[in-house]
Amino acid sequence: MNICVRLMVHIGLLIMSFIQISVASVVSTGDFNKDFFVMWSPTHVNTSANGHARSLKLNHESGAGFASNQMFLFGQIDMQIKLVPGHSAGTVVAYYLTSDQPNRDEIDFEFLGNVTGQPYILQTNVFSDGFDNREERIYLWFDPTEAFHTYSILWNLHQIVFMVDWVPIRLYRNHADKGVAFPRWQPMSIKISLWNGDTWATRGGHDKVDWSKGPFIASFRNYKIDACVWNGNPRFCRADSSTNWWNKDRFSTLTSKQRRLFKWVRKYHIIYDYCQDNKRFQNNLPKECSLPKY
């Protein structure tokens, strides 16, 4: 291969690399019809004319769900949600990232309905390499059925941060170097669903769905996907670049203000933490429970 041909090949590889990096991340369109597809029960999915708002319906026949067209490896996902009002016992609104593999990775928000007058429970969970049992539960400091609130997942090489209206409510740190599994290799899609979870969701399944109170409606709007689109090569998503802003050092841990807010949530709003459940783990808590969160 002469020098001219080698130079052309080198230039071509640089161009291809630039193109791949430039499309590695996406800022979403804000149109549910363009960024998501309906997984099940399309008649129970209602989308506004401009595509910027969507609702799901649960009745005695079915719930419903939708998922992102793309898969992602790291980034931040924001979704504004207004939960099922009134008597919502037994209903579950799930908003999560999942790899859908046998050894799946998953990052979950699950909103557990309740009887009228009792607060919603927000449960979070992390699956890594097929292992879960990492649940935490909090009571929110507002009524999530009265207005829309923003629920966010920041996922990068360093940490997973669950946020409610930008308040960090949970951290899951990357301690892979210490033998703790962390979602870092498998791309994940975004999924949203509303379904009947009355075998477990409310008081351990004691309170069932009261179908006479239905149909049950959850609403979604103003989402933002700023994440690395999976193209088969994790190198682009793991790179520290202006496009992959979430991998920069300043997002490797919480700011001092975020730490104060996080401690406030832990002090006043948490109602279950797997790292405090010695009975469940027979006094052998998961390793990350003894490691720093930030």
User: Catalytic amino acids?
Assistant: 106, 110
Residue 23 identity: V
Helix (H) / strand (E) element for 58: namely strand 53-58
- Reading across the β-sheet that carries 270-273, which strands appear in turn? 36-40, 64-68, 189-196, 91-98, 106-112, 121-127, 136-139, 270-273
Nearest residue to 204 via CA among 144, 285, 135 = 135
Q: Any idea which residue has 């890594």 for tokens?
A: 128
**3-class DSSP state for residue 16?**
helix
d(CA 196, CA 18): 46
User: What φ, ψ does residue 238 adopt, rounded to 5°?
Assistant: -90, -10
The first and second tokens of residue 210, run together, are 């009261």
Partners of residue 26 on adjacent β-strands: 227
